[in-house]
Amino acid sequence: MSIEDDIALLDRVPLLRLLGKDVLRVIAISAETRPLNEGEILFREGQFAEAGYVVVRGRLGLTREDPALARRPGQSAEAGPGSLLGEMALITETKRPATATALEPSAIMRIPRVIFLRTIEGYPDAAIRIGRELSERLSDTLGELDGVRVKIEALDSPSSRR
């Protein structure tokens, strides 16, 4: 793939699109692309995450290691071209919440956190856009959790036990 192809791929990722083409060019030049064979594990649940990955081609399965958790709805997923895996790993130290395995011959673009952070330091407007987006997502998640809390409290109330 050419640098222009890499930039176009990164621009398909909603969070990364906020950075703008100049920042994406720097990231594309710094990122490394590598193939994955079918069945190859990209990362395991619980591993320290030092990079985000964009799926270039193919499909990756995301699964939980604990069989009881893996059977629950929403605990497994598939990621295809243009998907960003480990977006939080781009900005903070974290652990992988799931195991990523290539479901077919695939390729990924690795974006190390140190490169991502160093790049956006040079583009404060891009950093502000990312911060706003993540702030909005956090606010939405907190709102959803508050709705769940209200439902749980209603189930626990004395009037619901009759």
pTM of this structure: 0.82
The string of pLDDT tens digits covering residues 110-137 is 999 999 999 999 998 988 888 888 888 7
With contact defined as beta carbons under 8 Å apart, do 45 and 99 qualify? yes
The string of pLDDT tens digits covering residues 137-159 is 777 777 777 777 777 877 776 76
Please state, rounded to an integer, the average pLDDT across all residues of the chain.
88
| Domains of the chain and any CATH numbers | 3-161 (2.60.120.10)
- Give yes or no for residue 162 having a pLDDT over 60: no
Token pair for residue 26? 């720097």
The string of pLDDT tens digits covering residues 45-90 is 999 999 999 999 999 999 988 766 656 666 578 999 999 999 999 9
Torsion of Cα atoms, 18 then 51 then 56 then 34, to 10°: 150
